[in-house]
Amino acid sequence: MTKLSVNINKLATLRNARGHNRPDILQAARDIERFGAEGITVHPRPDERHIRYQDVRDLKPIVTTELNVEGNPTPDFVALCREVRPEQVTLVPDAPDAITSNSGWDVVTHQQFLRDVVAELKSFGCRVSIFLDPDVRLVEAAASTGTDRIELYTEAYAVQYLADREAAVAPYRATAARAGQLGLGVNAGHDLDLDNLAFLHQQLPELAEVSIGHALVCDALYLGLENTVQLYRRQLR
Ligand SMILES: CC(=O)[C@@H](O)[C@H](O)COP(=O)(O)O
Ligand SMILES: NCC(=O)COP(=O)(O)O
């Protein structure tokens, strides 16, 4: 079964726009879980443009499914994970000024660094996932870091989906299959939406979890949050 983890970054973007606590993202997280999400994902970036470090601290005691904290493992980020001990940490190689995540890890060049970070995060009791481009050649190096899972970076899939979905999904199928052979769990995320999610799910039997935020929040503006969470859940049946 593939779990839906809802990324609430964009709810924090809206909250921060007026400087008060509306929407209340803690209440939103409770409600999103009640609507059927099987996880809450947050990506506290160094500039705290949306999710703040304090949000992560506040979310941990109220999330009853799984809290997935994404980020580049800077010393501050690792210290936050040591303090909060989320169920899952997803390592993303974002530059501090990146408008959004735009690549997976070069796990060959950063293999020792990642090996050390993964070991430290696992010592906190966190499951670790590494954000990875869909390239089967990277999977062995990813596995050598000791990570529990990879998260397939699905922007390229989303871009190509409408033009040629079979070609779009092919590298993801190969990478997921190799990961499964090496005992790695497979997550996926970035630019997944109500158009492209079901086919990805159908094509990747190894898929343990998808984390979805931007499109889901945009859809909720028209369709309502409860209805939208359930629409995304139905794409994973
Ligand atoms: C790793 C990933 O793909 C998402 O966490 C993405 O980075 C969302 O971040 P923003 O909400 O800041 O675009
Ligand atoms: N890891 C992907 C994520 O958390 C959300 O990405 P997006 O749906 O906001 O593109």
pLDDT in tens, the chain (237 residues): 999 999 999 999 999 999 999 999 999 999 999 999 999 999 999 999 999 999 999 999 999 999 999 999 999 999 999 999 999 999 999 999 999 999 999 999 999 999 999 999 999 999 999 999 999 999 999 999 999 999 999 999 999 999 999 999 999 999 999 999 999 999 999 999 999 999 999 999 999 999 999 999 999 999 999 999 999 999 999
| Residues across the chain | 237
Q: Which atom of ligand 1 is nearest to the CA of 153?
A: 3
Burial class from Cβ neighbours inside 10 Å (0-12, 13-18, 19+) for residue 7 reads: buried
Q: Which residues are annotated as a binding site for 1-deoxy-D-xylulose 5-phosphate?
A: 45, 50, 100
Q: How far is the CA of 211 from the centre of ligand 2 (A)?
A: 5
Q: What is the pTM of this model?
A: 0.98
Is 191 close to ligand 2, i.e. is its CB under 6 Å away?
yes
Q: Which atom of ligand 1 is nearest to the CA of 7?
A: 5
Show Cβ contacts of residue 20 under 8 Å, excluding neighbours closer than 6 positions. none
From 4, 192, 196, 228, the mutation candidate for ligand 2 (largest count of ligand atoms within 8 A of CB) is 192
Residues 84/63, Cβ–Cβ less than 8 Å: no
Residues with CB under 6 A from ligand 1: 7, 9, 43, 70, 92, 100-101, 131, 189-190, 213-214
Q: Could you give the residue numbers annotated as active site?
A: 43, 70, 190
On the CB side of 170, how many CA atoms lie within 13 Å of its CA? 6
Peptide bond into 23 cis (omega under 30): yes
